[in-house]
Amino acid sequence: MSEEASTQIEQILPLELIEKCIGSRIWIAMKNDKEFVGTLLGFDAYVNIFLKDVTEYEYTPEGLKTIKLDNILLNGNHVCLLVPGGEGPKIK
């Protein structure tokens, strides 16, 4: 057996990783001043994301504003960062 074959690392594609997160909590940072934490129900090839039991965090001049939502569909063009298992920003 060659050394290359024995040290082979399993590669996983980004969409495969997101698929493994379906049904679990995920923290999503958008390109604007909003972040969302919710349970991932599904997504498509454009990374449009459907969440349930959502908390929306918005950074305003007055401070961090939070809103509770039942469901939300996020446009994949505006998604900046996905954090599986993330719980959102720390509220002081």
Residue 34 belongs to what domain range? 25-84
Beta bridge mates, 27? 37, 83
Is 3 inside a domain boundary? no
Is 55 inside a domain boundary? yes
Rounded Cα gap, residues 52 and 90, in angstroms: 21
Is 72 inside a domain boundary? yes
Structurally, the chain folds into a number of domains equal to 1
For residue 2, pLDDT beyond 70 = no
Is 49 inside a domain boundary? yes
11-70 residue pLDDT tens = 888 889 899 999 999 999 999 989 999 999 999 999 999 999 999 999 999 999 999 999
Is 56 inside a domain boundary? yes
Q: Render the burial of 37-75: b for 16+ CB within 10 Å, e for the rest.
A: bbbbeebeeebebbbeebbbbeeeeeeeeeeeeeeeebe
Q: Identify the DSSP state of 45.
A: T
Is 12 inside a domain boundary? no
E-strand spans in the chain? Answer: 25-30, 34-43, 49-60, 63-74, 79-84
What CATH number should be reported for the domain holding residue 42? 2.30.30.100
